[in-house]
Structure 1
Amino acid sequence: MLCHCYSQQPFEHCCQPYLLGTHSPHSPLALMRSRYSAFVLGLGDYLLSTWHPDTRGQLTAGELRTVGHSTEWLGLTIIFATGEATNATGMVEFKARYRENGRVVSLHERSNFERLSGRWLYRDGLINPPKIKPNQACPCGATHHSTPKKYKHCCAKRSV
């Protein structure tokens, strides 16, 4: 079975080890993908445990489980991702599609992640972030000969 996160990888080699707690996500992108899979599967405890305690408010695992189970998840597209195992912060911009009340909805978010006690956690996100113009530096931080790559030549051309 392919992973729920649309990585085109087998579930057991992608998000499952994170969801079972046998491994911790090594990057914000890995955490983002595993959180999407957790929503699909209604794993409220995992979602709550990977949410930064400073920003999750009064959310409960039960509420997150209900959201996951009551939603028909249709797809995840990664726009760009920053942050590796040695960074303190990272970012993932994504679009998640789901069906609500018979219509397809797209959630477009630029999410912020923080490493706390060695674990990546979802901190917060900006819904419908401002569009990145083609000639702006790519937010993923990619460079070519020490010069920032333009967005149109980097993440605008691909999905992660």
Structure 2
Amino acid sequence: MRKSTLAIALAGTTLLIGACAAIRRHGPVGNHAVPQPAKLVDVQRYMGRWYEQYRYEASFEKEMDGVTAEYSLEHDGTVRVVNRGQRRGKWKESIGKAKIVDAATNAKLKVSFFGPFYGNYWVLDHDDDYQWSIVGEPSGRYLWVLTRDPRPSAELLSDIEGRVKSLGYDRSLLRRTQH
């Protein structure tokens, strides 16, 4: 009896995971050939507060401004992630965790805000001094441009936009985040 219950539970879980994998992601593809990360990431230097400057709009971030991401390294090697943003005058916060999945570069992580469900987080490029970062994932539907300064110079933003374009992303899909 126990074996059959376990088999049913396993089959149900497999079916649920398969169904979740088959669900179409929302939003247009802004890059049909997402590149591999360009540089190694020094995890210690990547930690801290980042200010979102641009993004591809996603349902979980729709109409948000003042968006920040705060990363801190935990004792077990995972990264604590705190995302904050404001929508219609109300602050929202999501706390998650990330784990490095490519130890050779530290540029590919899996991030979770919902229990056992993880999404890709690839640091596609960053400044040598970690003053800006371009983050994406393999589907090409998500993109974030992050800086350490909430209001960087127009010249820096223009340079980063040029880099976004050179990575193959459709800049017309970018939404500017207000700070």
Length-normalised TM-score, structure 2: 0.31
The structure having more radius of gyration, on CA atoms, is 2
Length-normalised TM-score, structure 1: 0.34
Structure with more of its chain in strand, by fraction: 2
